[in-house]
Amino acid sequence: MKKRTIGTLLGFLAMFGFGAIYYGLLTAEAGAEMAANFASCMNAEPNMAFIILGNIMGAYLLVYTFDKMGVNDAKAGAYQGAMIMAIVFAMSNLFMGAQFVIWDTQGLLVEWIVGIVHGVLGGAAIGAYNSKIS
């Protein structure tokens, strides 16, 4: 239980930290413009509770899967995290692209790559932690 809790916390910090930099600093202006252009279907401000919960769930998915796979180093964690999140984000982005006109192909691809980076960073943090306790 302790291994999963600490691993989830470390993965969360890596993923949430990257998201804060990417969405909060690098693309905040574009996000605000999108929220203004699509005010009828987007919140003016993101729901931070959902963002935090989503990052915790993503980190726990990696911790749980890595435990079953025996991932015990940063390099393997980064690789497997990228593969897992590539599938997760591809699935969700394809569903969003099929249903919402606010997403074009380029936006979906960028978000897919951002999701993969989340997996690389979260996976590397979890894999590095696993290497210290195994």
Residue spans of the domains in the chain: they are 2-133
pTM of the model: 0.91
Record the tokens describing residue 69, joined without a space: 């796979």
User: For tokens 């302790």, what's the residue?
Assistant: 2
- Confidence at residue 112, expressed as pLDDT on a 0 to 100 scale: 97
DSSP state for residue 101 in the 8-state scheme:
T
- Confidence at residue 81, expressed as pLDDT on a 0 to 100 scale: 98
- Confidence at residue 91, expressed as pLDDT on a 0 to 100 scale: 97
- Strands, E, within 12-122: which ranges? none
Which positions of the chain have pLDDT values less than 50? none
Per-residue pLDDT reduced to its tens digit, 73-83: 999 999 999 99
User: For tokens 């969405």, what's the residue?
Assistant: 23
